[in-house]
Chain A
Amino acid sequence: MKYSILLLFVCLSGWTSVAQDCKSILLGEISDFHDNTPLYGASITVTGKNQQTLSNQEGKFRFENLCDGVLELEISHPECISKFVTIVINGDSFKKILLEHHLEELDEVKVTGVIKNTTTSAQEGHLSLSEVEKYSGNSLGDALKSLAGVSTLNTGANIVKPVIQGLMGSRVLILNNNVRMQDMEWGEEHAPNVDINTNQDISVVKGAAALEYGGDAIGGVIIMNPLPIVRTDSLFGKTQTNLFSNGRGGNITTTLTKSYSSGLYMKGQASFKRLGDLEAPDYLLSNTGIAEKGVALSVGKRGFLQGWEAYYSYFDSEIGILRASHIGNVDDLIQSINSQQPNVINDFTYAIQSPYQEVTHHLGKLNYYRRFEGLGKWTMQYDFQNNQRLEYDIRVGNDADKASLDLSLTTHSITTGFQFDSKDGLQVKTGLLGRYQNNFANPDTGVRRLIPDYDKIDLGVFSVAEYRLKENLILDAGVRYDFSRIDAKKFYRTSRWEERGYDEDFADIIIEDLGTQLLTNPIFDFHNISATSGLQYDMKKETKLRFNYALAQRAPNPSELFSDGLHHSAARIELGDLRIKSETSSKISLSLEKNSADWGYTISPYFNAINEFIILEPTGVEFTIRGAFPVWTYRQTNAHLLGVDVSAYYNWTPKLRTDHKFSWVKGTDVSTDIPLINMPPANFNNSISYRNPKLKNLVLGLESMYVFEQQRFPDNIFVFSPEQQQEVELDINTPPAAYHLVALDAETSYSIGHRNDLKIGLRVTNLFNTNYRDYLNRLRYFVDDLGRNISLRIIYNY
């Protein structure tokens, strides 16, 4: 970069011939005032003349045939406040112009196609708006799956948990408009309670490098931000609707934004979704409907010096759980696995019956920031969340309509931070967090609590720094400390208390003996340290190398500590352990990236060594009067995860492009040298797209997804079957076969009031109606996965 400027100078100065009148050339370069990065797409106008141009990828622009003398240029950039610059032209000239590029306050307008990463050195992925629009009728996890290294753990098609490089649940943080979601992420059948249509700027940091959001993101961080609001007087809206053949329903979402040039804005968004029973290629998946509604409102003012925002969102989802997956005992499970056919198939219906779950999430946020001249930016935020989870099982008599699980999780957080960015090349961010959380398990369910009542306090402090050592080398480092205390009141069955050996280790926490049950008061403190360090090296034009090391510690979640009882819908007994300690991850990741107009690639290998890795796996059976049930127990071990994500694209012609992605991860319990359970199998995705702007902006795409068979899995367990009166192998860990799915996508845009304001897309997934089962779908024992789905999407901007 620097060289090219130098070269320019050399060229220019070599050009000593006396310029004739109005034959001068002005070369210029526009870069960001703070970090000197070139600004692409800035418009430069010679005031009073009809000459205008745009800066190119390197931030350069050029005017020819200028007259010598004084000129005034107006430079404007979508992310910056317009600037007027006066220059004296005397022969061919060069001018470097710095723009105040801090209009990210008006929210990072990502015009350039160059996406600013959250961290400097970690592996990251970003979803384009058109991808988000493609998945507007699906869930967050479905959309994220299009990124290399992200897979999902499903309970059917509607409960989708993102898995980042083999890790999920509490190891993956979700930042929803800068609020860390507290939505009982600990359960395998608990999907994130977010509407993908609310905050559509979605990116993923793989691993724990984004320390400012939390120190326990061993898997990674999913960041969902609102799309930028342009600081002009305007009122605009967007409505998208998607219709699905599979499920015979669809969704609709609308956003209205009113903005003022003063920086004030108001925004409202609402979504509604309704699907009936879904279909596998050969049969109907009874009771797999979904009903979702969401509302988000925000009002704020963003200026350069200061700004604030008040935000509220509500999300409610009611999701049917496959009827055939509700089983009685281990014999039913054996029977389901062996028959490979669902035991209940009813006629199509929109009705959602038991078993189902209904989850409501309220999120409120207030924030304020102020910039101090010559120092940096101070931010302050308070947020409130309430997550209410109701799970309904098939019950009899008076309890038929009563929930079996009724949890209410309330969280208050205060965060504050200061970003020192006045020194060129050095940026330091430091912050504090205080959080109080209360969980209430309603006893009116008449079912023993799986998760107890608890209070939890978190305190955190962090500091991260980024330093530009050389023009092409940036170093980053950070450290964070988190304290958390969990204070629970939990009932244990006396028999369980003794079976777990708690009567010896935890006798002092019993506060009441009720005969068959004990009321206990476990209080645990956790001190966690996390740290990260890395570099970003611009090797040559368009090629970057990133290296990162991240150390992260995560305190056990309530499920890992306290879980105790029969999960009716899963027909398994889940047991936590009071002795579980924090787990510690050390991860090294490397990323080699090339991005040019013609082609590009990213190769990202990583190695993650986790000490005291908390794992849930089948360990045996327990007998009850209803038969035998598999027992899943949490335990700690040392684990290694080794993997690589590769992606590449190639523009064969301006109209034809192919994309290729491959991810592979190998997880091993190194204490026993046994493969880890639920590791995503390798997958290989390829797509080809044809784009013709002249033909109504036609985009045609053909996507292929090949998922390999997972060859590495722990052994099955042997259980005594009361029905067969003998020990039988419970085929619970064997992964299903590899599969290949093909999808088709077509999109065109039309102009009604404005340019290309109407977009219509048609998408067919599982084009050949292939029968398949996925290893990471918890319903794979019972039914095939989804069959063909034809969907239509209509997007209207106004």
Chain B
Amino acid sequence: MQLFNIKNYVALLTVGLLTLSCSNDDDPEAVDEEEVITTMTIELESAGNVVTLQTRDLDGDGPDAPVITVGNLAANTTYTGSIELLNETETPADNITLEVAEEDDEHQFFFDASGTVTNVTYNDEDGDGNPIGLSFTLTTGDPGPGTIRVTLRHEPKKPNDGTLADAGGETDISQSFNVVVE
């Protein structure tokens, strides 16, 4: 009786598993991250001279840290700055700058200058007259080391008092550049 039953179980189990395990063996499709910003390039232009500050993290949230390139700035100079954002995990690279410009009321760059970088002011504004920061003016002082920290916030409080604490929102980019003013 008992033996008969066990045979039965095994038979049933085998049949069951065979019918159930007909999975498809197709390989899954790769996902390319769509909304990742891999690269931020800041161009600072003054009288035809262009200085580039760039941060580039091609593996996104992978283990590799961003690669930062920094050009030297001239002393006591006013630069016109512009920012370009790219997603280089896609080919061709996706220009995220356009997305930010389109949703400018939901984004804002924040600039935190110290040392020989004396001042940064906004050159653009959204439909409500609040700053965006895709375009800005940067002023340097006497030669020496300086720092400029660039933060892009998504859905910050707008208008805000210009500090990150007051603005809130999510950080899309946060990068410090250590520059030399000569």
B76 to chain A, nearest CB (A): 25
Taken together as a complex, chains A and B put the C-alpha atoms of A623 and B9 apart, in Å, by: 55
Taken together as a complex, chains A and B put the C-alpha atoms of A523 and B48 apart, in Å, by: 59
A479-534 contacts to B (CB < 8 Å): 489, 491, 493-496, 499, 511-512, 514, 516-517, 519
B37 to chain A, nearest CB (A): 6
* A447 and B33 form a contact (CB under 8 A): yes
Chain B neighbourhood of A382, CB < 8 A: 16
Taken together as a complex, chains A and B put the C-alpha atoms of A378 and B8 apart, in Å, by: 12
Taken together as a complex, chains A and B put the C-alpha atoms of A629 and B65 apart, in Å, by: 11
Among B31, B37, B65, contact of A445 (Cβ-Cβ < 8 Å): B31
Taken together as a complex, chains A and B put the C-alpha atoms of A722 and B30 apart, in Å, by: 32
Taken together as a complex, chains A and B put the C-alpha atoms of A328 and B173 apart, in Å, by: 9
* A446 and B35 form a contact (CB under 8 A): yes
* A434 and B155 form a contact (CB under 8 A): no
Among A332, A397, A489, A512, contact of B35 (Cβ-Cβ < 8 Å): A397
* A723 and B61 form a contact (CB under 8 A): no
Chain B neighbourhood of A5, CB < 8 A: none
Instruction: Mark the stretch among B21-29, B127-135, B136-144 that contacts chain A.
Output: B21-29
Instruction: Return the chain B residue nearest A397 by Cβ.
Output: B99
* B28 and A452 form a contact (CB under 8 A): yes
Taken together as a complex, chains A and B put the C-alpha atoms of A344 and B154 apart, in Å, by: 14
Chain A neighbourhood of B66, CB < 8 A: 623-625
Among A343, A394, A491, contact of B28 (Cβ-Cβ < 8 Å): A491
Say whether, besides A432-B13, A436-B20, A441-B28, A496 and B34 are in contact (CB < 8 Å).
Answer: no
Taken together as a complex, chains A and B put the C-alpha atoms of A516 and B90 apart, in Å, by: 11
A399 interface residue (CB < 8 Å to B): yes
* A395 and B171 form a contact (CB under 8 A): no
Say whether, besides A397-B99, A457-B21, A414 and B13 are in contact (CB < 8 Å).
Answer: yes
Taken together as a complex, chains A and B put the C-alpha atoms of A512 and B30 apart, in Å, by: 11
B182 interface residue (CB < 8 Å to A): no
Chain A neighbourhood of B39, CB < 8 A: 625
* A394 and B40 form a contact (CB under 8 A): no
* A416 and B33 form a contact (CB under 8 A): no
Instruction: Return the chain B residue nearest A344 by Cβ.
Output: B168
B146 interface residue (CB < 8 Å to A): no
Taken together as a complex, chains A and B put the C-alpha atoms of A335 and B166 apart, in Å, by: 12
B11 to chain A, nearest CB (A): 11
Taken together as a complex, chains A and B put the C-alpha atoms of A332 and B103 apart, in Å, by: 23
Among A335, A380, A495, contact of B165 (Cβ-Cβ < 8 Å): A335
* B155 and A495 form a contact (CB under 8 A): no
Among A332, A412, A452, contact of B171 (Cβ-Cβ < 8 Å): A332
B1-17 contacts to A (CB < 8 Å): 1-2, 5, 9-10, 12-13, 16-17
Taken together as a complex, chains A and B put the C-alpha atoms of A218 and B106 apart, in Å, by: 48
* A418 and B13 form a contact (CB under 8 A): no
A368 to chain B, nearest CB (A): 12
Chain B neighbourhood of A514, CB < 8 A: 30
A323 to chain B, nearest CB (A): 10
Among B59, B102, B149, B168, contact of A722 (Cβ-Cβ < 8 Å): B149
A674 interface residue (CB < 8 Å to B): no
* A414 and B171 form a contact (CB under 8 A): no
B63 interface residue (CB < 8 Å to A): yes
* B174 and A449 form a contact (CB under 8 A): no
A522 to chain B, nearest CB (A): 13
Interface size range on A against B:
35 or more
A453 interface residue (CB < 8 Å to B): yes
Chain B neighbourhood of A616, CB < 8 A: none
Taken together as a complex, chains A and B put the C-alpha atoms of A288 and B151 apart, in Å, by: 28
Among A343, A372, A414, A622, contact of B1 (Cβ-Cβ < 8 Å): A372
Say whether, besides A378-B5, A418-B5, A565 and B27 are in contact (CB < 8 Å).
Answer: no
* B63 and A499 form a contact (CB under 8 A): yes
Taken together as a complex, chains A and B put the C-alpha atoms of A707 and B29 apart, in Å, by: 48
Chain A neighbourhood of B175, CB < 8 A: 625, 627, 722
* A622 and B34 form a contact (CB under 8 A): no
Say whether, besides A432-B13, A489-B27, A723-B149, A623 and B35 are in contact (CB < 8 Å).
Answer: no
A50 interface residue (CB < 8 Å to B): no
* A722 and B89 form a contact (CB under 8 A): no
* A519 and B1 form a contact (CB under 8 A): no
Chain A neighbourhood of B103, CB < 8 A: 396-397
* A495 and B63 form a contact (CB under 8 A): yes
* A629 and B61 form a contact (CB under 8 A): yes
Instruction: Return the chain B residue nearest A492 by Cβ.
Output: B62
Say whether, besides A331-B171, A722-B149, A723-B149, A622 and B63 are in contact (CB < 8 Å).
Answer: yes
* B27 and A446 form a contact (CB under 8 A): no
Contacts between chains A and B (CB distance < 8 A), count: 156
* A414 and B31 form a contact (CB under 8 A): no
B154-170 contacts to A (CB < 8 Å): 154-155, 164-165, 168, 170
A326 interface residue (CB < 8 Å to B): yes
* A418 and B2 form a contact (CB under 8 A): yes
* A496 and B170 form a contact (CB under 8 A): no
A431-448 contacts to B (CB < 8 Å): 432, 434, 436, 438, 441, 443, 445-448
A458 to chain B, nearest CB (A): 10
Interface centre among A331, A418, A449, A626 (most CB of B within 10 A): A626
* A516 and B171 form a contact (CB under 8 A): no
* B31 and A443 form a contact (CB under 8 A): yes
A278 interface residue (CB < 8 Å to B): no
A455 interface residue (CB < 8 Å to B): yes
Among B23, B60, B168, contact of A624 (Cβ-Cβ < 8 Å): B60
Interface centre among A382, A446, A494 (most CB of B within 10 A): A446
* B174 and A329 form a contact (CB under 8 A): yes
Contact with A along B27-68 (1 / 0, CB 8 A): 111111111011110000000000000011111111111100
Taken together as a complex, chains A and B put the C-alpha atoms of A517 and B10 apart, in Å, by: 42
Taken together as a complex, chains A and B put the C-alpha atoms of A327 and B62 apart, in Å, by: 18
B69 interface residue (CB < 8 Å to A): no
Taken together as a complex, chains A and B put the C-alpha atoms of A216 and B102 apart, in Å, by: 53
Interface centre among A443, A447, A627 (most CB of B within 10 A): A627
Taken together as a complex, chains A and B put the C-alpha atoms of A447 and B64 apart, in Å, by: 18
Taken together as a complex, chains A and B put the C-alpha atoms of A448 and B28 apart, in Å, by: 12
B80 interface residue (CB < 8 Å to A): no
Among A343, A397, A455, A496, contact of B59 (Cβ-Cβ < 8 Å): A496
B141 to chain A, nearest CB (A): 19
B82 interface residue (CB < 8 Å to A): no
* A448 and B33 form a contact (CB under 8 A): yes
Chain B neighbourhood of A436, CB < 8 A: 17, 20-21
A317-342 contacts to B (CB < 8 Å): 326-329, 331-332, 335
Chain A neighbourhood of B32, CB < 8 A: 446
B78 interface residue (CB < 8 Å to A): no
Chain A neighbourhood of B31, CB < 8 A: 443, 445-449, 491
Chain A neighbourhood of B61, CB < 8 A: 565-566, 573, 622, 624, 629
Instruction: Return the chain B residue nearest A398 by Cβ.
Output: B34
B86 to chain A, nearest CB (A): 11
Contact with B along A627-654 (1 / 0, CB 8 A): 1010000000000000000000000000
* A416 and B30 form a contact (CB under 8 A): no
A375 interface residue (CB < 8 Å to B): yes
A672 interface residue (CB < 8 Å to B): no
Chain A neighbourhood of B17, CB < 8 A: 414, 434, 436, 457
Chain A neighbourhood of B153, CB < 8 A: 328
* A624 and B13 form a contact (CB under 8 A): no
Instruction: Give me the 4 closest cross-chain CB pairs, A-B, nearest first.
Output: A328-B171, A627-B174, A446-B34, A566-B61
7 A-B residue pairs with CB within 8 Å: A396-B103, A414-B12, A414-B16, A445-B31, A491-B28, A519-B27, A623-B57
Knowing that A436-B21, A447-B34, A626-B172 are A-B contacts, what are 16 other residue pairs whose CB atoms are under 8 Å apart, sorted by A's residue number?
Answer: A326-B170, A328-B171, A328-B174, A396-B35, A396-B103, A414-B16, A436-B20, A438-B23, A452-B28, A491-B30, A494-B59, A495-B64, A622-B62, A622-B65, A624-B60, A626-B171
Q: Which of A's residues lie within 8 Å of B, judged by CB? A: 326-329, 331-332, 335, 343-344, 372, 375, 378, 380, 382, 394-397, 399, 412, 414, 416, 418, 432, 434, 436, 438, 441, 443, 445-449, 452-453, 455, 457, 489, 491, 493-496, 499, 511-512, 514, 516-517, 519, 565-566, 573, 622-627, 629, 722-723, 725
